[in-house]
Amino acid sequence: GAVVSQHPSRVICKSGTSVKIECRSLDFQATTMFWYRQFPKQSLMLMATSNEGSKATYEQGVEKDKFLINHASLTLSTLTVTSAHPEDSSFYICSAMGGGIQYFGAGTRLSVL
Amino acid sequence: KNQVEQSPQSLIILEGKNCTLQCNYTVSPFSNLRWYKQDTGRGPVSLTIMTFSENTKSNGRYTATLDADTKQSSLHITASQLSDSASYICVVSASSNDYKLSFGAGTTVTVRA
């Protein structure tokens, strides 16, 4: 089956630093990738839709300057949390569209001190 | 208002026992419904995908049912194992190309020896 790799799996950083999370489709090309955020005991919340070669589409309430998304190739999308603060601590999950189905990465646990 | 409601929110069962999780949805139009298993700190892993015309689908000890008329689905776990302890998420797709997914909040299953 389709494999989506997300890296890093866990990151701890100081407040004010920027953190980059990578999402790769390993065995298929994905023109569209998605970034989600998940709080404890809650469902996944879509943050943005990333399209290769174009600007990402952000959901209402998501700051595009805070969460920078780059989809530079058909197998890689990155999410950069800029000037991270403790309230940005969360579980971030990416997915990649392959054959009309979203395949999910393993997630990244971000902890901002 | 969440268009996908799951119940119960959590449950505890003894190893070897069976359990059934419920999912009600109001998403329209409807393309497909899938059940995911999400281990703590990991991304969702697909268990079953069902389209409008499918009433039941099995994946090992997991059996999902779908009643598209009443907009209800269930996931039955047979002969539970400790490794079944996880969150089970019901996800409904409104389009055939998976661009818009509606997530339930999940049911947390704890299997005890």
Per-residue pLDDT reduced to its tens digit, A49-105:
998 888 899 999 999 999 999 988 899 999 999 999 999 999 999 999 888 888 999
Would you state the torsion angle of the CA atoms of residues A27, A30, A33, A39, taken in this order, to the nearest 10 degrees?
-20
Tokens read off for B108: 């947390």
Checking A43-48 for CB contacts under 8 A at 24+ apart, the result is A43/B2, A43/B4, A43/B89, A43/B103, A43/B104, A43/B105, A43/B106, A44/A93, A44/B44, A44/B89, A44/B103, A46/B101, A47/A79
Interchain contact B44–A (C-beta under 8 A): yes
Per CB-CB distance under 8 Å, the chain A contacts of B36 are 104
Between A and B, how many residue pairs show a Cβ–Cβ distance under 8 A? 45
Per CB-CB distance under 8 Å, the chain A contacts of B89 are 43-44
Interchain contact B28–A (C-beta under 8 A): no
DSSP-assigned letter for residue A61:
T
For an interface test with B, give the residue of A11, A22, A34, A44 to mutate (most B CBs within 10 A).
A44
Among the partner-chain residues A41, A103, A107, the one whose CB lies closest to the CB of B42 is A107
Among the partner-chain residues B41, B101, B108, the one whose CB lies closest to the CB of A109 is B41
Q: pLDDT at position B41, please?
A: 86
Per CB-CB distance under 8 Å, the chain A contacts of B106 are 41, 43
In angstroms, the CA B97 to CA A110 distance is 30
- A8 CA to chain B: closest CA distance, Å? 12
Band of residue A41 on the pLDDT scale cut at 50, 70, 90: confident
DSSP-assigned letter for residue A110:
E
Per CB-CB distance under 8 Å, the chain A contacts of B97 are 97, 100
In angstroms, the CA A80 to CA A18 distance is 7
Please choose, from the candidates A29, A32, A23, the residue with its C-alpha nearest in 3D space to the C-alpha of residue A2: A29
Residues of chain B with pLDDT under 50: none
Cis geometry, peptide bond prior to residue B44 (ω within 30 degrees of 0): no
Contact A93 B41 (CB under 8 A): no
Q: pLDDT at position A40, please?
A: 84
Specify the pairing of strand B4-7 against strand B19-25: antiparallel
Band of residue A31 on the pLDDT scale cut at 50, 70, 90: confident
Q: pLDDT at position B70, please?
A: 95
Tokens read off for B71: 């907009």
Q: pLDDT at position B26, please?
A: 94
Per CB-CB distance under 8 Å, the chain A contacts of B42 are 106-107
Nearest CA in chain B to A93: B43
Q: What is the pLDDT of residues A16-30, one digit of tens each?
A: 999 999 999 999 999
Please choose, from the candidates A5, A41, A30, the residue with its C-alpha nearest in 3D space to the C-alpha of residue A99: A30
DSSP-assigned letter for residue A27:
S
Residue with tokens 């530079």: A72
* Residue A52: exposure state from Cβ atoms within 10 A (0-12, 13-18, ≥19): middle
